[in-house]
Copies of this chain bind each other. A is one copy, B any other.
Amino acid sequence: MHKPVLALAALSLAVPAAANITPVPPTLEEAADRAHSSDRYAWDFVEGITTEVGPRQAGTEAEKRGRDWAVQWLKAQGFRNVADEPFEMQTWVPGELHKAEILSPFAQPLVVQPLGGTASTGPEGITAEVVYFRTVDELRAAPDGSLTGKIAYISHSMTRTQDGSQYGFAGPARWVGSGIAAQKGAVATVIKSVGTDYHRNPHTGGAGFPDGVAPTPAGALSLPDAANLERMFARAKGKPVVMKLTLTPQLLGTTTSGNVVGEIVGRDPSLPPVLVACHIDSWWNGTGAFDDGAGCGIVAAAAKHVSHSGQPLRTIRVLMAGAEEVGLFGSVAYSAAHIDEPIAVGLESDFGADRIWKFESNFRDSNPALHAKIASTVARFGVSNGTAVATGGADINIARDQKTAIIDLQQDGTRYFDLHHTPDDTLDKIDPVQLRQNVAVWTQVVGILANEPGPILPKE
């Protein structure tokens, strides 16, 4: 019983003049600066959901626990109109057995995890010769039928980039590789993880198959395992490399997911709201800290800090979308359900928790005064004024569908693909200082948008 009393005593000593100051709401700039120095909402959100829920595979009971947790958290922080808006989806789960073994010429196990949407080998596994493709283009060039009965292995050469652009360069190995291999007769596919780290943690993610092509088993080798397999090919000197692959994902059929929403209600709710988005689901193998617990923490924290500077003119609506990872199902469902409710602008945080370094909008030309105002106010946080046209992220389909204003607050992605879709996506990867910089920039930007009386993207 004594400890709380002592803690309160210590607190009152630490701020002795508090009782004599009449509280004055901070200005928006002050609110953003306070977020920069001492935000605790974003960390509390991402620590809480990763610790108390952990992995949140789309469509499963774990994602449901994540949505329930987020609903409770938003309510506890005073958000209004908090809801979990359900939608149905086809749900894939990874199953229990994830094994790859080289049987010859050099027997040893490799670390593998299945790709989202792929088929099961059955618990008995598949044993076949591996055919090595250095790039997706090499695979594309293979004759039809040339992979019959074989396992395709697809490599790539991805490096770290601040803007994350090499995801587009290397991603096709996962996005389309197993589909192309299946068309050419492959019984299964393994890929070099689409990532930039050096740890025994595979990068999963969705794999697509063309219409009419039945999904095959497909998995990602960790980067050290992929390098080892490639060395085996070099040392095998033409002898066949034979792998036993065991992956047992399952399709659960139709289950329910949902989009969690909550609002800071504006002074004029008739004005279109500012939509700030993230996604609540994660892959099963990590705890969804960088992707995207942090993003949800950032956007919700920013909404709170804006409210500290006084009730905003427009409503700020937080959307924590369900089932992003497996096909943007939540974003699609949200847009379908709310397409007739205009929003003013959409922004998303879904690229980790490292510092924001560039601001981009799609109204630089059509609303230059507002664009310049935002750019000048975030400059103090090290954010430059970008010239590219913002296109938004996965969770704000509605902004593209409604052709509204969009802002991209570009985060430093240098280490994002070290962690993306891996077991290593855990809380310890988040730098609290950089997380707070995100909250500060978001507070400044969302606060300006939510107090903007005129249209943000003037109709053409």
Contacts and interface: CB of A to CB of B under 8 A. Distances in A.
Interface of A: 47-48, 50-55, 62, 65, 105-109, 111, 198-201, 223-225, 227-228, 231-232, 235, 286-287, 422-424, 426-429
Most chain B CB neighbours (cut-off 10 Å) among A50, A51, A53: A51
A52 B106 contact: yes
A225 B427 CA distance: 10
A106 B51 contact: yes
Given A55-B109, A224-B427, 5 more contacts: A53-B108, A55-B108, A62-B108, A198-B426, A198-B428
A68 to B, nearest CB: 12
A193 to B, nearest CB: 13
This chain's copy number in the assembly? 2
B106 A231 contact: no
Most chain B CB neighbours (cut-off 10 Å) among A201, A224, A424: A224
Given A200-B424, A200-B426, A201-B199, A228 B50 contact: yes
B198 A201 contact: no
Contacts of A199: 199, 201, 424
B111 A287 contact: no
B287 A227 contact: no
Q: Sort A-B residue pairs by CB-CB distance and give the 6 closest, nearest first.
A: A54-B108, A200-B423, A224-B426, A51-B231, A52-B106, A199-B199
A96 to B, nearest CB: 9
A203 to B, nearest CB: 13
B111 A423 contact: yes
A198 B427 contact: no
Contacts of A232: 51-52
Nearest to A50: B228
A422 B201 CA distance: 12
Contacts of A54: 106-109, 228
Contacts of A106: 51-54
Contact of A235 (B48, B105, B287): B48
Nearest to A99: B96
Contact of A223 (B53, B65, B224, B428): B428
B428 A52 contact: no
A231 B423 contact: no
A200 B198 contact: no
Contacts of A62: 108
A396 B249 CA distance: 49
A228 B430 CA distance: 13
23 contacts: A47-B231, A50-B228, A51-B106, A51-B228, A51-B231, A51-B235, A52-B105, A52-B232, A52-B235, A53-B108, A54-B106, A54-B228, A62-B108, A65-B107, A198-B426, A198-B429, A199-B201, A201-B201, A224-B426, A224-B428, A225-B426, A227-B426, A228-B287
A65 B107 CA distance: 10
A201 B422 CA distance: 12
Contacts of A51: 106, 228, 231-232, 235
Contacts of A227: 426-428
Contacts of A426: 198, 200, 224-225, 227-228
Contacts of A200: 201, 286, 422-424, 426
Contacts of A55: 108-109
A53 B9 CA distance: 64
Contacts of A201: 199-201
A231 B46 CA distance: 12
A225 B65 CA distance: 20
Nearest to A422: B200
Nearest to A51: B231
A34 B109 CA distance: 36
Given A53-B108, A201-B200, A424 B48 contact: no
